[in-house]
Amino acid sequence: MRIRLLTLLAAGVLGLSVLVAAPAGAVPATATDDDSGFVLSTTQPGGPGQAPMFVGNGYLAGRQPFDGQGFAQVQLPGRTEPLPTQSQVHGFYAVAVPFTPPGLPPSIPVERRAALPAWSTLSYNDGSGAYSLSSGQVDNYLQRLDMRTGTLTTQVSWTSPGGHAVDLAYDVTPDRVHRRAAMVRLRLVPHFDGPVTITDLLDGQAVELATSQGTSHRGNTQWVKLSSVGLGMTATVASTVIPPKGAKVRPAQTSDPLTAGQDVRFRVKSGQTYEVTKAVGVAVSADSTDPATTAIGASKHEASLGYAGMRTGSDAAWDKLWQSDIVVSGDARLQRQVRSALFALLASVRDDTPWAPSPGGLSSDGYNGHVFWDSETWMYPSLLATEPAIAAESLQYRVDRLDAAYRYAADTGWSGARYPWESAHSGLEETPTWANTGLWEIHVSADISLAMWQYWLATGDTQWLASKGWPVLRGIADFWVSRATRNSDGSYSINTVIPPDEYVEKVNDSVYTNVAARDALRFATQAAALLGRHASPKWSRVADRLRILFDRTLGIHPEYAGYPGDAVKQADVTLLAYPWENPQPASVTEADLAYYVPRTDPLGPAMTDAINGVISSQLGLPGCPAFTFTRRSVDPFVRPPYEQFSESRVDGAFTFTTGAGGFLQEFLYGYTGFRWRGDRIVLDPSLPPQLTGITDSAVHWRGRVLRIEVGPEQTQVILLSGAAVTIQTPSGTQTLRSGGGLTLPTRRPDQTPTTNLARCHPTLATPATAEPPEAAADGTDITQWIGPTADATIQVELGQTVPLGSVTITRNPVTTFASTSGGKGVAMATKSAGERVEASVDGSSWRVVATVTAPTLRDTVAGDGQPTRYVRLVALDATDTVPLIVGELSVQRQ
């Protein structure tokens, strides 16, 4: 099974990020806090469960400590090792032995992304000690991320150990225009007279898997040269300091060969404002023939712009990216979460860098900085809809490594192009050898084919298809032909694989793998027809005869041959409906969803419920389960104060850009019903009652840009630019012309007639758990609310006062849940704790209606006919292993 490597983050306290005004008397910040959802902030540095933020320009990035600059090891609850604030850049790899989980044999060395010196250090010192949140006295602290500009600002009033008070404001901004550059600005207002020293440090404490090739200093510029361990790739990090008038700049004494420093010394007067800025340049041999000259030049050029000049260009570049904003109305926190997810993705990719993001993006070296199917399946679709030029660069990473894929196939005994499960610089297999995924998790090649075909559908770029897409599609098709085994009945099987559900190994006829391989073969055949190229007849023969398992008794796709119904790690069979759009009746899609959701391990990775949300929107299940899945796909995984994704509810890669990408697909492909076609686009919008609107500001298709505004009753589609476009909807096909608009009805599954007064009405639960309370009243027992404590309660407000009729509690026959001991449980509903059914008119005075002491799959109790506006269930001695389980709470009026 695939085990997440490195960067293990324990689940923190889930809470709202706060938006606050700047403290009085502090240096003004570069942006104003507002309620737009673009600014996330905290006044409590390193509070319970809080994780520091990273900023990046898509080429380079750095996680910043709560101090606002420099390097730190941040200890988070439940985490064995502290989280380092790493500085990362695309393409800088070493060869070294990776982390090995306890009890497994060590891996052979693999390529691993190396970390740079921390480039943001601009340390303040009045002679009695350097500024730190752990020394002196801290007042008026505020740190905030302005996602509109990619800037992290930290303000603090600090009294040094020597008793000198000063207001400090740090701004850390990677330059979105010049990819090799970043800037750090310190503004200070002292409340004393005397000397101070500002130290510009390129801090070698942060370096991982690299050795020093020397440090140098010339004028106001310094640099560190690095060579990666084992691979010998080179990199240079340079900085140019811009001092206040009259200040002296001198080299700082350092004992670390990986560290370079220069001191800026000057005298200050109380009440005056001073500014020190450092301009950073980074270059690596992966894309520069002379990294030292390139990095030093980038640093000096950045310094010539000045901080304000740099921000003018960089802010404009970010503003252009945010033209593809996703606007969520009716839920302020969800809006912030959406923007944070999009920011994390954009901070890790750009349109002039041919590199695909790893599961941690540029936030860390999580998963060794390797590229998985996470790129094509989870992050790429959101980029394709909003930033197709960036999506093209993500695919270029695979195009550039096609020769390596041919070599890998040949080395492992197959034909064609086999892409590795974990890829890095070379394009060969870099999976640690203690994990079997590198041997048998082969669906990644088909995932790449789907991404290539989606790019063709989205852009119609025939030249790209001929020169880049077709060679990849052809090579992958040949691989699948060689990998398939002909059976005695003429069908084909693909044996000995690991499916997306990595809890199983060496299974045969994984339904996901076979459907993906089948479609990859057909994509190659279709591309050949479009381009007038030769298509091997083997492609169609194998595609048409691949075994696609189906259980007619259960009405579902079994995960693989002999699948016994066990718990699964993550989305697998459900992916057939989306993104693969396997031709199957809606009833089968619904049956697959209902079967696999309760069997999915809640301790698995964050992406799964995003797929469930998209499919629920597609199916239009009566009620509002799509919103439940949206909540499940984000709330248990994001960490305060910056709403960053962790890979799982308890640990995993951080920041998990894979989860962020999957989450965004709910708003681009789920609630809009948007699907790619070569001659048209498909829209089938829907909206849950918990939201008042979703707007995809700029969706791109074949040179057109559309704005899709999903409202509670109607959806407006506006063609902002480009030629006319054909739009297919459930009510027919229409043509939308440039500058024109189209009005579509918005589906509202919550308005499907029902006698259940509780369905989709506001719910509250205690204690707050990873399961959203909406699960108990969303119209289906596919989703369930689970209360693990003796006094757990779930409450629904009916929206009106009615004479209480019957109350029904239904439970799914299978419930997979996480226990606080760190494991997972699979329970039948009969293992649910009992409950007391209570009712109220005002929500404060409650009366007992009935008690269920021996719960079954469906328990109905008679009401008392009394006026009721609130109904709640109170657990009877629930425990972590026998919790209160509520699939659906149904209330009837008398």
679: tokens are 């001659």
Give the distance between the most distant pair of CA atoms in the chain: 90
Element (H, E) at 542: helix 537-545
β-pairing verdict for 39-42 and 137-146: antiparallel
The candidate with the shortest Cα–Cα distance to 278, out of 215, 226, 202, 176, is: 202
Q: Residue type at 282?
A: V
Task: Give DSSP secondary structure letters for 858-878.
Answer: EEEE-----EEEEEEEEEES-
Nearest by Cα to 62 from 364, 412, 461, 484: 364
Catalytic residue status for 647:
yes
The H or E element spanning position 855 is none
Catalytic residue of the set 502, 590, 643, 771 = 502
**Helix, strand, or coil (residue 112):** strand
Lookup: tokens for 740: 């024109």
Question: What values do phi and psi take at 532, rounded to 5?
Answer: 70, 30
What the block records as the tokens of 692 is 């008042």
Phi and psi dihedrals of 836, rounded to 5? -105, 130
Query: Is there a catalytic annotation at residue 590?
Result: no
Could you tell me which residues come within 8 angstroms of residue 513 by beta carbon, excluding any fewer than 6 positions away?
442, 443, 446, 494, 497, 499
Q: What span, in angstroms and rounded, lies between the C-alpha atoms of 261 and 10?
A: 34
Q: State the CB neighbour count (10 A cutoff) for residue 661.
A: 29
C-alpha distances out from residue 54 to 637, 643, 660, 733, Å:
17, 12, 14, 44
Cβ distance 833 to 796 under 8 Å?
no
Identity (one letter) of the amino acid at 202?
Answer: L
Structure tokens that stand for 420 in this block? 């590795």
In the set 429, 559, 647, 666, the catalytic residue is 647
Q: Do 170 and 27 meet the contact criterion of CB atoms below 8 Å apart?
A: no
- What DSSP element (H or E) covers 890? strand 888-893
Does a cis peptide bond (omega within 30 degrees of 0) precede residue 655? yes
Per-residue CA distances from 588 to 365, 553, 556, 585, 630 (Å): 40, 12, 6, 5, 22
Residues 6+ apart with CB under 8 A from 795: 763, 764, 765, 773, 843, 870, 871, 872, 873
In which residue are the tokens 């070294």 written? 96
Q: Tell me how far apart the alpha carbons of residues 140 and 806 are, in angstroms, rounded to a whole number.
A: 55
Which positions are annotated as active-site residues? 502, 647
